[in-house]
Structure 1
């Protein structure tokens, strides 16, 4: 399992940050792990979208459907739901992520957490690469969100 946590202070409200996260087309401008997005469906506090995944150092992956669940003003949890489109990926890997916002001074403290795991023998190939590359990628993603929201 490869896990990365990045924390950053951002001068915005929790709602502004979490609204950005819940808009995958807009968030894809700063997150290189989100390849071409085919569709987005939002129903209240749940957004699902289909996209081509791209993991740092591993290149483009298969198309998957991701589900984001918003706890208003607090966090977004991200998973790959049990759907036909995710069947292969769910057999060979695991994925979980979250964005948590805590008020801090005149802004918020964002905690971005992401975790990937792989079944053997893919684990031996993919996890060492992700251990080297994922941290810098997630740091760049969070800095990109900060720049976007603070301009």
Structure 2
């Protein structure tokens, strides 16, 4: 299993950060794992999106996947694969979960970003060492870019 975690304090409210995450096309500006989107659908606290993922250190292009993000307002966003019949190939290759959890701190919020992939034995021997080496640094960079994006003055 591959697990990666990164944390960053951001000078914003939880709702602002979590809405940024739920707007996956906008969040893709800071997350290079989110490849081109075929579609994005959002209804309230659920966002589903079909895209071509890019995993750090792995050659691409990867097959397209459909993921879903579920918002718990003010607290977190949980991301997972949509169950079959979509993602037949992905569901055979791995179980995937990710999250963005926010907790208030003196200077704003502490964001904890996690990703977990339980890989099938068919690909584990090849993919797991690459992800273990590259994913932690990738999540740190992602959160740093999110911080810069959210805290920089924007020209509207």
Structures share fold, TM-score greater than 0.5: yes
SS of equivalent to 1:53: coil
CA contact (8 A) 2:84 2:91 kept: no
Partner residue in 2 for 1:21: 21
More strand by proportion, 1 or 2? 1
Query: Aligned-pair distance for 1:120?
Result: 1.1
Deviations 1:43-69 (A, max 9, x none): 110000110011111133110111000
Query: Aligned-pair distance for 1:123?
Result: 0.3
1:130 aligned onto 2:131: yes
Partner residue in 2 for 1:116: 117
Query: Aligned-pair distance for 1:6?
Result: 0.6
Partner residue in 2 for 1:79: 80
Query: Aligned-pair distance for 1:117?
Result: 2.0
Distance 1:84 1:59 in 2: 26
Unaligned runs of 5+ in 2: none
Distance 1:104 1:111 in 2: 12
Query: Aligned-pair distance for 1:40?
Result: 0.6
Distance 1:121 1:88 in 2: 12
SS of equivalent to 1:100: strand
* Corresponding pairs, count: 151
TM-score, scaled relative to structure 1: 0.97
Partner residue in 2 for 1:149: 150
SS of equivalent to 1:138: helix
Partner residue in 1 for 2:39: 39
Structure 1 stretches of at least 4 aligned residues deviating more than 6 Å after TM superposition: none
Distance 2:23 2:121 in 1: 34
Cα RMSD after superposing both structures: 0.9
TM-score, scaled relative to structure 2: 0.94
